[in-house]
Amino acid sequence: MKGTVLGIAGVGLIGGSIALRARAAGATVIGYDRDPEALRAATAAGALDDTAPDLASLAERCTVVAIALPVDVTVAVLAATPQLAKPELVFDVASVKVPVVEAARELNRFVASHPLAGRETGGFGAADATLFEDRTWAIVPGRDPAAQARLETVIGALGARPLVLSAADHDRLVAISSHLPQVLSVALGALVAATGDADARVYDLCGPGMQSMLRLAHSDAELWAPIAKANAVAVAEALESIAAALQSTAAGLKAGNVEALLAAFDGAHQAVVALERSPGSPRSLPYAVPKR
C-alpha cells in the first residue's frame, strides 16, 4: 500500500484495525472521528499519520477513503458529502448494503463492501491489525471496474479474502449468518436474566456453552439498532424461519418424541462440517479444528 494516502472516517474497531494494518503496510493514514479521544488513542498507538477536522477535508486529502461508520451514519454521509467524488476509491464497511448502494448512487468511484470480522466490544481499544486475516470481505460490484480492482488489492493487503456478490444477496445471507446470531444471543440473554430474577442459581448452573452463546449479547445496542432497522425484512424472515423450527421441535417434545430435534442436529452437523472446511475456519470457530 506504499504511496496510498488512506483516509479513515471512524477509527473504532473496524476503522482502527484498517488503519493499523494499512500503516504497517506502508500507507499514509489520515483519520477523522467525531470523538477526539478516539483520534488521540489511534495517533498514540501509531495507527495514524495525521487527522482531519471533518469528512469533507479528509476526502480532499486522500486517494482512498474508508467509511467505517454505523450504517445509518454511512448512508447519511454518502448522500451529503459531494467531496467523496474526488478520491480514486471510496468504500464502506457497513453490514447492510442495499441502502448504502442507494445512498452512494452519485459517487462513481464508490464500492460497497463488508468485512466479516468483528467483536462484541468496539472502539479503537479493541482494534487489531490482524482482525481481517483470512476473513471474508464482501464486495458489491461497483460502477468503476478500476475502483473495484483497487479495493480488492486493498483487501488483500489487509489480509482478507474478497467475495463479490450483489447487495440484495449480501443482505439476505448476512441476515442468517450474522444478524440472526446477534438477535438470538440477545433473546437468550434476556431469558436467562428473567430466570435469574426469579432464581439466581441459574447463573451458577451456566457452563462454557452458555458463556459462548451469550458472547454476542454483550454487543452495543446502539450499534445494532440501525443494522436491524436497515435489514429489517430479511432479519424478520430469518427469525420467522427459526421460530417455526423451534415451535415444531417444542411441539414434538411435548408429544413425547424427538424426531424434529434429531433432524435439527443433522442439519447443524452439516453446517459445522461446512464451516470447518472453509478457508477461514481456524479464525471463525471457537475451538480447534482437527487437522485434515
Does one domain contain both 248 and 235?
yes
Which pLDDT score, from 0 to 100, does residue 20 have?
Answer: 97
Q: Which residue range(s) make up the domain with 218?
A: 169-257
Question: pTM for the whole thing?
Answer: 0.89
Counting the structural domains of the chain, the total is 2
Does one domain contain both 24 and 110?
yes
Does one domain contain both 21 and 151?
yes
DSSP secondary structure code for residue 124 in this structure: G
Does one domain contain both 160 and 177?
no
Share of the chain above pLDDT 90, in %: 85
Q: If you average pLDDT over residues 239-255, what whole number do you get? A: 94
Query: In this structure, is residue 289 part of a structural domain?
Result: no
Which pLDDT score, from 0 to 100, does residue 34 have?
Answer: 94
Order of strands, sheet of 89-92, starting from the edge strand that comes earlier in the sequence: 50-51, 28-32, 5-9, 64-67, 89-92, 110-111
Q: 61-77, pLDDT tens digit by residue? A: 999 999 999 999 999 99
The chain-wide mean pLDDT, for the chain, equals 93
Confidence of residue 244 (pLDDT cuts 50, 70, 90): very high
Query: In this structure, is residue 183 part of a structural domain?
Result: yes
Does one domain contain both 68 and 160?
yes
Does one domain contain both 160 and 23?
yes
Query: In this structure, is residue 282 part of a structural domain?
Result: no
CA 196/CA 19 separation, integer angstroms: 42
Query: In this structure, is residue 117 part of a structural domain?
Result: yes
Q: 42-57, pLDDT tens digit by residue? A: 999 999 999 999 999 9
Which pLDDT score, from 0 to 100, does residue 286 have?
Answer: 52
**Is pLDDT at 277 greater than 70 in this prediction?**
yes
Read out DSSP for 179-211?
IHHHHHHHHHHHHHHHHHHH-THHHHT--HHHH
Does one domain contain both 33 and 155?
yes
Does one domain contain both 152 and 252?
no
Does one domain contain both 23 and 153?
yes
| Other beta carbons less than 10 A from residue 96's beta carbon | 29
Does one domain contain both 106 and 239?
no
Choose between 223 and 100: higher pLDDT.
100
Q: If you average pLDDT over residues 205-210, what whole number do you get? A: 95
Which pLDDT score, from 0 to 100, does residue 291 have?
Answer: 46
Q: Give the dihedral of Cα atoms 93, 99, 105, 109; nearest 10 deg.
A: 10
Indicate which CATH number applies to the domain containing 201: 1.10.3660.10
Does one domain contain both 147 and 204?
no
CA 155/CA 162 separation, integer angstroms: 7
* Domain end position, chosen among 110, 134, 165: 165
Query: In this structure, is residue 49 part of a structural domain?
Result: yes
Does one domain contain both 77 and 214?
no
Which pLDDT score, from 0 to 100, does residue 292 have?
Answer: 41
Confidence of residue 284 (pLDDT cuts 50, 70, 90): low
Q: 117-170, pLDDT tens digit by residue? A: 988 788 999 999 999 999 999 999 999 999 999 999 999 999 999 999 999 999
Query: In this structure, is residue 280 part of a structural domain?
Result: no
48 within 8 A of 31, measured Cβ to Cβ: yes
Query: In this structure, is residue 285 part of a structural domain?
Result: no
Confidence of residue 84 (pLDDT cuts 50, 70, 90): very high
Indicate which CATH number applies to the domain containing 57: 3.40.50.720
Q: If you average pLDDT over residues 179-203, what whole number do you get? A: 97
Read out DSSP for 218-236?
GS-HHHHHHHHHHTHHHHH
Which pLDDT score, from 0 to 100, does residue 166 have?
Answer: 98
